[in-house]
Amino acid sequence: SGMITAHIDLGTDEIYDEANQQNKAMGGLFMESLVNDALVDTTSAVVGPLTPGQLVVHRSMERTAAMILPSNLHEIEAESKEHSKQSGLDNPTRTKILKTAETARHYCLRLTLTVKNNENQEEIAEAPAEERSYMLRSFARFRGDDRVRYLTLAGIIDVDDYENHLWLGFDYSARANTEDEVDISQRMSDINKAIFHLQKAAELCPTDARVPFQLGNAFVARNSMMYQAGEGTEQYADLSKVADALQRSSQLETVAVKLGIHDINDLAICLNGLATNFCKMGEFDSAVDVISRWGECGSIRSSLEPEDLASHEPKSIPKFEWIKAGERDVAITTYGDTAVFDEDDIALIRAAADKRFAQANGAQTSRYTMQYEGNREVHLDGLCKNDPALKERMDNILQEKIYPLVREAFKDQGDNGGHPPPLGALSVYDSIFVRYNGDVARKAGRIGASQPLHQDGGMYSVNIALNAHEDDDPVNGFTGGGTFLEALSVGDDETVRRPASTGHALLHRTTQRHAGAPTTSGIRDILVIFLTARRPETPINNEYTYGIETAMRLQTMAKELPREQCLRGLELARSYDPLNSEMSYWLGVHLLQGDPNDPSDERWEEICRGVETLEAAAELNPADARAYYHLGMAISTRHKYAMRTKRAHLLPPAADAASRMIETFEEAIRLEKICEE
């Protein structure tokens, strides 16, 4: 508020031992209006480092953020550029800023200045237009349906404040996207008003990432409305406007993330929208580039420390062995005296989770959507945020046990036809504490507290037991529970596995399909850590850090596209991770879903490729009942199509085809029964 802000630096207090640090912590100010230049030189958006007593004056409508900076900030950026280390999100400048912020407490004095508009002391002074507009805009947020009226008045009072146009655009977009039954012409009118105001906001302030993001979403909404009204298709000119707007927003957000001003959530949402839009445009190479940036967001999402590749000290990792299905490596289980967590670690984590659940008072504490009666989740980052002792302990465990364990366990996978560990430092993609309450689930009519079959995000999943099963603790232990590993359905071994004992872990690749088997009574607590990797400093041609994640995300987007683009997207997804059976499965399914009355050679080739691709899916994952079922249907479809289009001479012998079809259906039924049991 006000007209002018004076920012006076008052210096810092060191809150940690600075003996081993070469550079002093100093204050600074991020100014959003300088971000245009920062697209090339990130630190040009920073005023500082400031010495105590230095003054920075700016208009109050300027969006700023106070910072704690290393005294040699500009030298760090210059050196990083020289060695080509500044292009990614995880760059030395960001790392040093965040580390410095942990070492000091910074002080500043911010004075908000205004003026009186008359000299008559007996009359009440009229506030300047800037302040009246600001107050109206603030008041409008609490006025429900009257918000647009107040925001319009604020815009009339101060025509130069882009925030009025931003919020008008946002509110008109909300009106247009309402789920109420509103006439399409009224909704179209509202979305066009939203676009007008957001374009005006972008003109007045080209450096606020929120503006082009909302503008891009408004274009998306207008596309959808025109399609619903029969005035076009989902593939027309506005898609390029969406791409331009979201590209601009992502560029601006990237600067703020590189400087540690913002976390990655807004950038990740923006990149998701941009990649989806490029897929709709058929520009899949551009989509993959954006998805790679999105993958990098995941690698720096967590505040937990990444792997220290510079450390060569010997680590005391737990003993481990592979769980196999025939000759196939499925998962790893740790065992022996050295566990991943000891009793104190477990007590620390469970106490933090109990406290968070109590504070939530029944509200959802996880951003994941697979929430069921009897299941509760909380993110480890949220627990560590307010518990420095827990964060320090988790960082140590990651460096001393989990990261080296994953490196050692998966080091030979590249030689055995799998993916070798990444070149970049391992890091936490996400981590959740999960509590399965079998008693609550049973009361709600469920078999037990569980999760359905799924794949995880990231590259590796680490599942750590935090309390005992009934087999190990007959008095307090839970019953049921464990991880159902689909791949084990093809053998004679148990399909549900639990860590060897409390504190031990079960590890597998995130692409390994699995489920949380029902906990039928008592409480089962686990901590699941999903690992990804930072972008390597010197990538090699054959190593693509986010290939696994790119394939999964591209596959999800492709399935929502029109058929021709869907097939292109699924083919590309399969090329990025040919070892993931899901890629072959979904490509095969969609290849079969063409026009049954099309007699062309192209359609015949699609059907034959569909059969081949589903055969590949079943070979990659011989425990996937869906793959066998759809393979059987594909063989049947191929036979019927060939007979109808006079291509019977191209079919395999009828007895062989019939035998294979019966075999696939029988295997699908057998596997489904195992899952049900």
Confidence of residue 369 (pLDDT cuts 50, 70, 90): low
Residue type, 448: G
Confidence of residue 238 (pLDDT cuts 50, 70, 90): confident
**Region 526-540: what's the mean pLDDT?**
85
- Are 102 and 134 in the same domain? no
* Helices 92-101 and 238-258, packing angle to 10 deg: 50
Q: Look at residue 476 in the predicted model and tell me its pLDDT.
A: 93
Residue 450: give its domain's CATH number.
2.60.120.620
Residue 121 has pLDDT above 80, yes or no: no
Give 475's DSSP letter: T
Residue 652: give its domain's CATH number.
1.25.40.10
In sequence order, the 6+-apart residues with CB closer than 8 A to the CB of 670 are none
> For residue 557, is it within any domain?
no
- Are 155 and 294 in the same domain? yes
Domain boundary residue, one of 517, 533, 549: 533
Dump pLDDT digits (tens) for 65-103.
999 999 999 888 888 776 665 567 888 888 899 889 888
- Are 283 and 146 in the same domain? yes
Q: Look at residue 414 in the predicted model and tell me its pLDDT.
A: 63
pTM of the full structure: 0.89
Q: How confident is the prediction for the chain on average, in pLDDT?
A: 89
Measured on CA atoms in the order 401, 407, 411, 413, is the torsion positive or negative?
positive
Q: In angstroms, rounded to a whole number, what is the distance separating the alpha carbons of residues 495 and 514?
A: 10
> For residue 67, is it within any domain?
yes
- Are 334 and 448 in the same domain? yes
- Are 199 and 157 in the same domain? yes
Dump pLDDT digits (tens) for 425-468.
999 999 999 999 999 999 999 999 999 999 999 999 999 999 99
Q: Look at residue 360 in the predicted model and tell me its pLDDT.
A: 87
CB distance 620 to 487 below 8 Å: no
Q: Look at residue 16 in the predicted model and tell me its pLDDT.
A: 59
What Rg do the C-alpha atoms of the chain give, in angstroms? 29
Domain total of the chain = 4
**Region 368-391: what's the mean pLDDT?**
86
Q: Look at residue 539 in the predicted model and tell me its pLDDT.
A: 59
Residue 239 has pLDDT above 60, yes or no: yes
For the record, the structure tokens of 659 come out as: 């035998």
Higher-confidence residue of 536 and 168: namely: 168
Angstrom CA distances, 57 to 8, 74, 629, stand at 9, 22, 69
User: How many other C-beta atoms lie within 10 A of the C-beta of residue 121?
Assistant: 7
User: How many other C-beta atoms lie within 10 A of the C-beta of residue 599?
Assistant: 13
Confidence of residue 583 (pLDDT cuts 50, 70, 90): very high
- Are 152 and 99 in the same domain? no
Residue type, 385: K
Percentage of residues of the chain with pLDDT beyond 70: 92
Q: In angstroms, rounded to a whole number, what is the distance separating the alpha carbons of residues 677 and 672?
A: 9
- Are 257 and 283 in the same domain? yes
Strands 46-50 and 328-335: unpaired
- Are 24 and 50 in the same domain? yes
**Region 148-176: what's the mean pLDDT?**
90
**305 burial level (CB within 10 Å; 0-12, 13-18, 19+):** middle
- Are 285 and 405 in the same domain? no
**Region 259-282: what's the mean pLDDT?**
93
Higher-confidence residue of 520 and 125: namely: 520
> For residue 308, is it within any domain?
no
Q: Look at residue 418 in the predicted model and tell me its pLDDT.
A: 75
Residue 603 has pLDDT above 70, yes or no: yes
Domain boundary residue, one of 504, 533, 562: 533
Q: Look at residue 538 in the predicted model and tell me its pLDDT.
A: 66
**Region 555-577: what's the mean pLDDT?**
94
Residue 297 has pLDDT above 60, yes or no: yes
Dump pLDDT digits (tens) for 137-158.
888 877 777 888 889 998 899 8
- Are 361 and 492 in the same domain? yes
Higher-confidence residue of 487 and 123: namely: 487
> For residue 553, is it within any domain?
no
Confidence of residue 127 (pLDDT cuts 50, 70, 90): confident
3-state secondary structure of 28: strand
Domain boundary residue, one of 83, 113, 143: 113
Q: Look at residue 370 in the predicted model and tell me its pLDDT.
A: 64
> For residue 369, is it within any domain?
yes
> For residue 178, is it within any domain?
yes
> For residue 136, is it within any domain?
yes
Dump pLDDT digits (tens) for 29-69.
999 999 876 677 888 899 999 999 999 999 998 999 999 99
Q: Look at residue 569 in the predicted model and tell me its pLDDT.
A: 95
> For residue 495, is it within any domain?
yes
- Are 158 and 77 in the same domain? no
- Are 153 and 87 in the same domain? no
Q: Which domain holds residue 80?
A: 4-113
Q: Look at residue 327 in the predicted model and tell me its pLDDT.
A: 87
Q: Look at residue 117 in the predicted model and tell me its pLDDT.
A: 63
